[in-house]
Structure 1
Amino acid sequence: MDELRENSASVIPLRVIANEKGDIRHALKASEATFHGFGEAYFTTILPNHTKGWKMHRRMHMNLVVIQGEVAFHVHNDKSGVTETFVLGTDAGIYGRLHVPPGLWMAFGGRDDEPSLVLNLASIEHDPDEAINVELATYPINEAD
Protein backbone atom coordinates (compact mmCIF):
# COMPACT_ATOMS: atom_id res chain seq x y z
CA MET A 1 0.00 0.00 0.00
CA ASP A 2 1.29 3.47 -0.81
CA GLU A 3 2.11 5.45 2.30
CA LEU A 4 -0.69 7.90 3.11
CA ARG A 5 0.86 11.34 2.71
CA GLU A 6 -0.87 14.55 3.64
CA ASN A 7 -1.68 16.72 0.60
CA SER A 8 -0.78 13.89 -1.80
CA ALA A 9 -2.82 11.47 -3.82
CA SER A 10 -2.34 7.80 -2.98
CA VAL A 11 -3.30 4.48 -4.52
CA ILE A 12 -4.73 1.83 -2.23
CA PRO A 13 -4.62 -1.71 -3.66
CA LEU A 14 -8.05 -3.33 -3.46
CA ARG A 15 -9.00 -6.90 -2.77
CA VAL A 16 -10.63 -9.04 -5.43
CA ILE A 17 -12.35 -12.17 -4.19
CA ALA A 18 -12.54 -14.78 -6.93
CA ASN A 19 -15.92 -16.40 -7.34
CA GLU A 20 -16.89 -18.89 -10.05
CA LYS A 21 -20.14 -16.95 -10.68
CA GLY A 22 -18.47 -13.52 -10.70
CA ASP A 23 -15.74 -11.84 -8.70
CA ILE A 24 -16.32 -9.57 -5.70
CA ARG A 25 -14.34 -6.31 -5.77
CA HIS A 26 -13.79 -4.17 -2.70
CA ALA A 27 -13.94 -0.36 -2.98
CA LEU A 28 -13.79 1.44 0.42
CA LYS A 29 -14.21 0.62 4.11
CA ALA A 30 -15.12 3.10 6.86
CA SER A 31 -12.14 1.80 8.87
CA GLU A 32 -9.57 2.98 6.28
CA ALA A 33 -7.42 6.10 6.81
CA THR A 34 -8.65 7.55 3.50
CA PHE A 35 -12.31 7.44 4.57
CA HIS A 36 -13.43 10.98 5.42
CA GLY A 37 -17.18 10.46 5.62
CA PHE A 38 -19.77 9.73 2.97
CA GLY A 39 -21.53 12.36 0.91
CA GLU A 40 -22.48 10.57 -2.28
CA ALA A 41 -21.44 7.93 -4.78
CA TYR A 42 -21.57 8.64 -8.48
CA PHE A 43 -20.32 7.16 -11.75
CA THR A 44 -18.68 8.96 -14.63
CA THR A 45 -17.65 7.65 -18.03
CA ILE A 46 -14.59 8.61 -20.03
CA LEU A 47 -14.27 7.92 -23.73
CA PRO A 48 -11.15 6.33 -25.26
CA ASN A 49 -8.36 8.84 -25.92
CA HIS A 50 -10.25 11.69 -24.24
CA THR A 51 -9.24 13.56 -21.07
CA LYS A 52 -11.51 15.36 -18.59
CA GLY A 53 -10.21 17.98 -16.18
CA TRP A 54 -8.68 19.97 -14.51
CA LYS A 55 -10.81 20.19 -11.35
CA MET A 56 -9.84 20.98 -7.78
CA HIS A 57 -12.16 20.39 -4.85
CA ARG A 58 -11.82 22.65 -1.84
CA ARG A 59 -13.51 20.27 0.66
CA MET A 60 -14.21 16.95 -1.09
CA HIS A 61 -12.05 13.87 -0.66
CA MET A 62 -12.41 11.78 -3.83
CA ASN A 63 -12.08 7.99 -3.70
CA LEU A 64 -11.92 6.83 -7.32
CA VAL A 65 -12.31 3.23 -8.49
CA VAL A 66 -12.27 2.15 -12.13
CA ILE A 67 -15.22 -0.21 -12.53
CA GLN A 68 -14.67 -0.93 -16.23
CA GLY A 69 -11.74 -0.27 -18.54
CA GLU A 70 -8.49 1.55 -17.83
CA VAL A 71 -7.99 5.19 -16.81
CA ALA A 72 -4.95 7.44 -16.30
CA PHE A 73 -5.51 9.88 -13.43
CA HIS A 74 -3.29 12.97 -13.45
CA VAL A 75 -2.95 14.74 -10.10
CA HIS A 76 -1.24 18.13 -9.89
CA ASN A 77 -0.03 19.71 -6.66
CA ASP A 78 0.31 23.51 -6.94
CA LYS A 79 2.53 23.65 -3.84
CA SER A 80 5.18 21.28 -5.20
CA GLY A 81 4.56 21.94 -8.90
CA VAL A 82 4.53 18.16 -9.47
CA THR A 83 2.02 16.26 -11.61
CA GLU A 84 1.76 12.53 -10.87
CA THR A 85 0.00 9.96 -13.06
CA PHE A 86 -1.76 6.90 -11.65
CA VAL A 87 -3.13 4.22 -13.98
CA LEU A 88 -5.97 2.09 -12.63
CA GLY A 89 -8.27 -0.45 -14.21
CA THR A 90 -10.05 -3.72 -13.77
CA ASP A 91 -7.09 -5.81 -14.94
CA ALA A 92 -5.02 -7.68 -12.38
CA GLY A 93 -2.26 -5.53 -10.98
CA ILE A 94 -3.95 -2.17 -11.52
CA TYR A 95 -7.19 -2.62 -9.55
CA GLY A 96 -7.12 -0.11 -6.72
CA ARG A 97 -8.65 3.04 -5.33
CA LEU A 98 -7.14 6.48 -5.84
CA HIS A 99 -7.62 8.84 -2.89
CA VAL A 100 -7.38 12.51 -3.86
CA PRO A 101 -7.65 14.90 -0.91
CA PRO A 102 -8.97 18.46 -1.24
CA GLY A 103 -6.61 21.04 -2.71
CA LEU A 104 -5.15 18.92 -5.53
CA TRP A 105 -6.00 19.30 -9.23
CA MET A 106 -7.19 16.18 -11.04
CA ALA A 107 -7.72 15.25 -14.68
CA PHE A 108 -8.33 11.79 -16.10
CA GLY A 109 -8.21 10.09 -19.47
CA GLY A 110 -9.60 6.92 -21.01
CA ARG A 111 -6.94 4.37 -21.99
CA ASP A 112 -9.12 1.50 -23.15
CA ASP A 113 -10.63 0.78 -26.57
CA GLU A 114 -14.12 1.18 -25.10
CA PRO A 115 -15.54 3.80 -22.71
CA SER A 116 -14.29 3.38 -19.14
CA LEU A 117 -16.46 3.69 -16.03
CA VAL A 118 -15.24 5.36 -12.82
CA LEU A 119 -16.92 5.34 -9.39
CA ASN A 120 -16.31 8.28 -7.03
CA LEU A 121 -17.10 7.62 -3.37
CA ALA A 122 -17.12 11.28 -2.36
CA SER A 123 -16.83 12.56 1.21
CA ILE A 124 -19.45 15.29 0.65
CA GLU A 125 -22.44 15.79 -1.63
CA HIS A 126 -21.84 17.60 -4.91
CA ASP A 127 -21.65 21.36 -4.42
CA PRO A 128 -20.75 23.33 -7.56
CA ASP A 129 -19.45 26.22 -5.42
CA GLU A 130 -16.74 24.12 -3.72
CA ALA A 131 -14.88 23.08 -6.89
CA ILE A 132 -12.77 25.03 -9.37
CA ASN A 133 -12.32 24.09 -13.04
CA VAL A 134 -9.53 25.27 -15.34
CA GLU A 135 -8.65 24.51 -18.96
CA LEU A 136 -6.84 21.25 -19.70
CA ALA A 137 -3.83 23.16 -21.07
CA THR A 138 -3.25 24.78 -17.64
CA TYR A 139 -1.00 21.93 -16.39
CA PRO A 140 1.13 19.61 -18.55
CA ILE A 141 0.08 15.99 -18.95
CA ASN A 142 2.47 13.35 -20.23
CA GLU A 143 0.11 11.00 -22.09
CA ALA A 144 2.88 8.38 -22.25
CA ASP A 145 2.57 7.80 -18.48
Structure 2
Amino acid sequence: MSTSEMTLQDVGIAGALLQPLKVISTEGGPVLHMLRSGSPLLPDFSKGFGEIYFSEVLPGHVKAWKRHTLQTQHFAVPVGQLKIVLFDDRPGSETRGTVRELVLGRPENYGLLRIPVNVWYGFAAMGDAPALICNCADIPHDPTEGLKLPVNDHSIPYKWSEGGV
Protein backbone atom coordinates (compact mmCIF):
# COMPACT_ATOMS: atom_id res chain seq x y z
CA MET A 1 0.00 0.00 0.00
CA SER A 2 1.36 3.42 -0.87
CA THR A 3 2.30 5.97 1.77
CA SER A 4 -0.44 8.35 0.61
CA GLU A 5 -3.07 5.67 1.24
CA MET A 6 -1.88 5.18 4.82
CA THR A 7 -1.81 8.91 5.68
CA LEU A 8 -4.74 9.84 7.89
CA GLN A 9 -6.02 13.38 8.05
CA ASP A 10 -7.77 14.74 11.13
CA VAL A 11 -10.89 16.60 9.94
CA GLY A 12 -11.38 18.52 13.18
CA ILE A 13 -14.00 16.31 14.85
CA ALA A 14 -12.71 13.84 17.47
CA GLY A 15 -12.63 10.35 15.92
CA ALA A 16 -13.48 11.53 12.38
CA LEU A 17 -10.61 10.77 10.01
CA LEU A 18 -9.99 10.98 6.27
CA GLN A 19 -7.72 8.58 4.39
CA PRO A 20 -6.78 9.49 0.79
CA LEU A 21 -7.51 6.61 -1.56
CA LYS A 22 -5.70 5.37 -4.61
CA VAL A 23 -7.09 5.84 -8.11
CA ILE A 24 -5.35 3.64 -10.68
CA SER A 25 -5.56 4.88 -14.26
CA THR A 26 -6.31 2.21 -16.83
CA GLU A 27 -7.08 2.45 -20.53
CA GLY A 28 -10.75 1.54 -20.08
CA GLY A 29 -11.32 3.73 -17.02
CA PRO A 30 -9.88 4.04 -13.52
CA VAL A 31 -9.85 1.48 -10.73
CA LEU A 32 -10.87 3.04 -7.42
CA HIS A 33 -9.76 1.65 -4.08
CA MET A 34 -12.10 1.98 -1.10
CA LEU A 35 -11.07 -0.39 1.67
CA ARG A 36 -8.48 -3.10 2.03
CA SER A 37 -6.82 -5.23 4.64
CA GLY A 38 -4.26 -3.22 6.58
CA SER A 39 -6.13 0.06 6.19
CA PRO A 40 -6.00 2.16 9.35
CA LEU A 41 -9.73 2.83 8.86
CA LEU A 42 -10.70 -0.83 8.46
CA PRO A 43 -13.90 -1.29 10.49
CA ASP A 44 -13.84 -3.61 13.47
CA PHE A 45 -15.49 -6.69 12.01
CA SER A 46 -15.08 -8.67 15.26
CA LYS A 47 -18.84 -8.10 15.71
CA GLY A 48 -19.36 -9.49 12.21
CA PHE A 49 -19.74 -7.69 8.91
CA GLY A 50 -22.23 -4.81 8.78
CA GLU A 51 -23.15 -3.81 5.25
CA ILE A 52 -22.05 -1.83 2.22
CA TYR A 53 -24.60 0.31 0.44
CA PHE A 54 -24.71 3.10 -2.13
CA SER A 55 -26.82 6.23 -2.04
CA GLU A 56 -27.32 8.56 -4.98
CA VAL A 57 -27.56 12.27 -4.21
CA LEU A 58 -29.25 14.43 -6.82
CA PRO A 59 -28.10 17.98 -7.56
CA GLY A 60 -29.85 20.53 -5.38
CA HIS A 61 -30.80 18.01 -2.70
CA VAL A 62 -29.52 17.80 0.86
CA LYS A 63 -29.55 14.58 2.83
CA ALA A 64 -29.31 15.76 6.45
CA TRP A 65 -29.26 15.44 9.45
CA LYS A 66 -28.52 11.96 10.72
CA ARG A 67 -26.44 10.32 13.43
CA HIS A 68 -26.02 6.76 14.54
CA THR A 69 -25.80 5.64 18.16
CA LEU A 70 -24.09 2.30 17.40
CA GLN A 71 -22.98 2.32 13.74
CA THR A 72 -19.70 3.82 12.46
CA GLN A 73 -19.86 5.19 8.90
CA HIS A 74 -17.06 4.81 6.31
CA PHE A 75 -17.88 6.99 3.29
CA ALA A 76 -16.25 7.12 -0.15
CA VAL A 77 -17.61 9.05 -3.13
CA PRO A 78 -16.56 7.31 -6.38
CA VAL A 79 -18.86 9.38 -8.65
CA GLY A 80 -19.26 13.15 -8.42
CA GLN A 81 -18.52 15.29 -5.41
CA LEU A 82 -20.32 15.85 -2.12
CA LYS A 83 -20.11 18.58 0.44
CA ILE A 84 -20.23 16.71 3.74
CA VAL A 85 -20.93 18.55 6.98
CA LEU A 86 -20.21 17.09 10.42
CA PHE A 87 -21.43 18.41 13.77
CA ASP A 88 -20.21 17.15 17.14
CA ASP A 89 -22.57 17.61 20.08
CA ARG A 90 -21.30 14.61 22.05
CA PRO A 91 -21.09 15.28 25.80
CA GLY A 92 -17.46 15.11 26.93
CA SER A 93 -16.01 15.32 23.40
CA GLU A 94 -13.02 17.63 23.04
CA THR A 95 -14.57 18.93 19.80
CA ARG A 96 -18.11 19.38 21.17
CA GLY A 97 -19.84 22.27 19.35
CA THR A 98 -17.58 21.98 16.29
CA VAL A 99 -18.94 22.06 12.73
CA ARG A 100 -16.75 20.90 9.85
CA GLU A 101 -17.34 21.03 6.08
CA LEU A 102 -15.36 18.94 3.65
CA VAL A 103 -15.55 17.94 0.01
CA LEU A 104 -15.35 14.27 -0.80
CA GLY A 105 -15.24 12.81 -4.30
CA ARG A 106 -13.40 12.75 -7.57
CA PRO A 107 -11.22 13.91 -9.06
CA GLU A 108 -9.32 15.88 -6.38
CA ASN A 109 -10.81 14.61 -3.11
CA TYR A 110 -11.19 10.86 -3.37
CA GLY A 111 -10.83 9.32 0.07
CA LEU A 112 -12.41 7.32 2.85
CA LEU A 113 -14.09 9.29 5.65
CA ARG A 114 -14.78 7.67 9.00
CA ILE A 115 -17.67 9.22 10.96
CA PRO A 116 -17.80 7.98 14.55
CA VAL A 117 -21.00 7.19 16.43
CA ASN A 118 -23.09 10.10 17.71
CA VAL A 119 -21.67 12.65 15.25
CA TRP A 120 -24.34 14.39 13.15
CA TYR A 121 -23.76 14.43 9.39
CA GLY A 122 -25.38 15.60 6.20
CA PHE A 123 -24.35 15.95 2.58
CA ALA A 124 -25.29 17.57 -0.71
CA ALA A 125 -24.18 16.95 -4.30
CA MET A 126 -21.91 19.62 -5.72
CA GLY A 127 -22.37 20.73 -9.31
CA ASP A 128 -25.00 19.75 -11.85
CA ALA A 129 -24.57 15.97 -11.79
CA PRO A 130 -25.65 13.33 -9.26
CA ALA A 131 -23.06 12.02 -6.82
CA LEU A 132 -22.81 8.46 -5.53
CA ILE A 133 -21.75 7.76 -1.97
CA CYS A 134 -20.70 4.33 -0.75
CA ASN A 135 -20.90 3.46 2.95
CA CYS A 136 -19.17 0.51 4.57
CA ALA A 137 -20.88 0.30 7.96
CA ASP A 138 -19.58 -1.83 10.79
CA ILE A 139 -23.06 -3.13 11.69
CA PRO A 140 -26.17 -3.73 9.53
CA HIS A 141 -28.58 -0.83 9.23
CA ASP A 142 -31.15 -0.73 12.02
CA PRO A 143 -33.68 2.12 11.73
CA THR A 144 -34.18 2.13 15.50
CA GLU A 145 -30.55 3.08 16.29
CA GLY A 146 -30.32 6.11 14.01
CA LEU A 147 -31.58 9.58 14.83
CA LYS A 148 -32.74 12.20 12.31
CA LEU A 149 -33.34 15.94 12.38
CA PRO A 150 -34.81 18.25 9.71
CA VAL A 151 -32.32 19.75 7.25
CA ASN A 152 -32.33 23.22 8.85
CA ASP A 153 -32.92 22.22 12.47
CA HIS A 154 -31.88 25.06 14.79
CA SER A 155 -30.09 22.74 17.22
CA ILE A 156 -27.30 22.32 14.64
CA PRO A 157 -25.41 25.58 14.00
CA TYR A 158 -25.26 25.19 10.23
CA LYS A 159 -27.44 26.58 7.46
CA TRP A 160 -27.58 24.73 4.16
CA SER A 161 -27.70 27.22 1.31
CA GLU A 162 -30.16 27.17 -1.57
CA GLY A 163 -29.43 24.10 -3.67
CA GLY A 164 -27.48 22.45 -0.85
CA VAL A 165 -24.05 23.93 -1.47
TM-score by length of 1: 0.89
Aligned residue pair count: 144
Is the alpha carbon distance of 1:29 and 1:4 closer, same or farther for their aligned partners in structure 2, counting shifts above 3 Å?
Answer: farther
Residues 111-140 of structure 1: CA distance to partner in whole angstroms, max 9, x if unpaired? Answer: 121111111111110101111001111221
The equivalent residue for 1:13 is 20
The answer to which structure has the higher strand fraction is 1
In the alignment, the residues of structure 2 paired with residue 45 and residue 134 of structure 1 have an alpha-carbon distance, to the nearest angstrom, of: 20
List aligned pairs for 1:1-145, cutoff 5 A.
1-3=8-10, 7-36=14-43, 37=45, 38-79=49-90, 80-91=96-107, 93-138=108-153, 139=156, 140-141=158-159, 143=161
In the alignment, the residues of structure 1 paired with residue 97 and residue 130 of structure 2 have an alpha-carbon distance, to the nearest angstrom, of: 30
Is the alpha carbon distance of 1:6 and 1:48 closer, same or farther for their aligned partners in structure 2, counting shifts above 3 Å?
Answer: closer
Q: Between Structure 1 and Structure 2, whose CA radius of gyration is higher?
A: 2
2:124 is matched by which residue type in structure 1?
G
Range with bigger deviation, 102-111 or 134-143: 134-143
In the alignment, the residues of structure 2 paired with residue 39 and residue 30 of structure 1 have an alpha-carbon distance, to the nearest angstrom, of: 16
Q: Return 5+ residue gaps in structure 2 as ranges.
A: 1-7, 91-95
In the alignment, the residues of structure 2 paired with residue 5 and residue 89 of structure 1 have an alpha-carbon distance, to the nearest angstrom, of: 19
2:68 is matched by which residue type in structure 1?
H
Q: Return 5+ residue gaps in structure 1 as ranges.
A: none
1:5 Cα deviation from its structure 2 partner: 8.0
Contact 1:74 1:141 in 2 (8 A): no
Contact 1:53 1:136 in 2 (8 A): yes
In the alignment, the residues of structure 2 paired with residue 46 and residue 4 of structure 1 have an alpha-carbon distance, to the nearest angstrom, of: 22
CA RMSD of aligned residues (A): 2.1
Contact 1:7 1:103 in 2 (8 A): no
TM-score by length of 2: 0.79
Residues 62-111 of structure 1: CA distance to partner in whole angstroms, max 9, x if unpaired? Answer: 111112111001010014111101101121x2111111011100000111
Three-state SS of the structure 1 residue aligned to 2:152 is helix
In the alignment, the residues of structure 2 paired with residue 104 and residue 63 of structure 1 have an alpha-carbon distance, to the nearest angstrom, of: 13
Three-state SS of the structure 1 residue aligned to 2:121 is strand
